[in-house]
Amino acid sequence: MDILAAMKERRSTRGFLQKPVERGTLERLLSLATQAPSAINLQPWEFTVVSGEEKERLSRLLVKRMKERNISCGPGAKKPLPDYFRERQRGLLNVMLPNLPESLHFQDFVNEGSCNFYGAPTAIIITLDSVFSKARLTDIGVVVGYLVLAAHALGLGTCPIGLITAFDDDIRDVLSIPEEKEVVIGVAVGYKDPDAPINRSRSERVVLDDVVKWRE
């Protein structure tokens, strides 16, 4: 697949088929993702790939913890969002809400969906060793970009999930991840369900002048 086409076509998947992703496909996906550049070639990322019953067990625990602690998805802002950020957020809501079941509140869908990886058969947990400063989160962002584009090229759907970082201790415990590894993000991976209405949701991107400033 042409990389430019993948960049234009790829969107987050929130409805997956219950079809396992083959080990070989996951290995190829991660091999491609880890071609990403990193500062002085540190390659600071580590991946824990969770499938099958282990993934179901993790999902059940995260949903339980989310409800116990009343934790909800949010923009991670330190103060109220300016109107232009709120407008972008509304753009996503406007395309997603018509594709949700009438009885399901948007926030409930996102919160529980995040914690069960939207039903994807595989979850990839990406961690960063505590030896590194927050500056290396830049490298994690780059490798996630490579991962989701490579997945699209391989015929897979993905959805990066940040909410799970609220439960990093639980994740480390259930997956036997060493304490010095910080859970940075999760990525749901699987085959997109073509009949899931939610997958028809496609938010637009703002015009270039809204996010690019030229200095010449």
- pLDDT tens for the chain, residues 1 to 216: 789 999 999 999 999 999 999 999 999 999 999 999 999 999 999 999 999 999 999 999 999 999 999 999 888 888 999 999 999 999 999 999 999 988 889 999 999 999 999 999 999 999 999 999 999 999 999 999 999 999 999 999 999 999 999 999 999 999 999 999 999 999 999 999 999 999 999 888 999 999 999 999
Residue 97, pLDDT score: 92
187, 161 in Cβ contact below 8 A? yes
Q: If we measure between CA atoms, which residue out of 151, 130, 161 comes closest to residue 46? A: 130
Write the CB contacts of 2 (distance below 8 Å, at least 6 apart in sequence): none
Residue ranges of the domains in the chain?
3-202
In this structure, are residues 125 and 24 in contact, taking their beta carbons and an 8 Å threshold?
no
- pTM, two decimals, is 0.94
Query: With contact defined as beta carbons under 8 Å apart, do 120 and 21 qualify?
Result: no
Return the CATH class of domain 3-202.
alpha beta
Give yes or no for a contact between 21 and 92, defined as CB atoms under 8 angstroms apart.
no
| pLDDT of amino acid 4 | 94
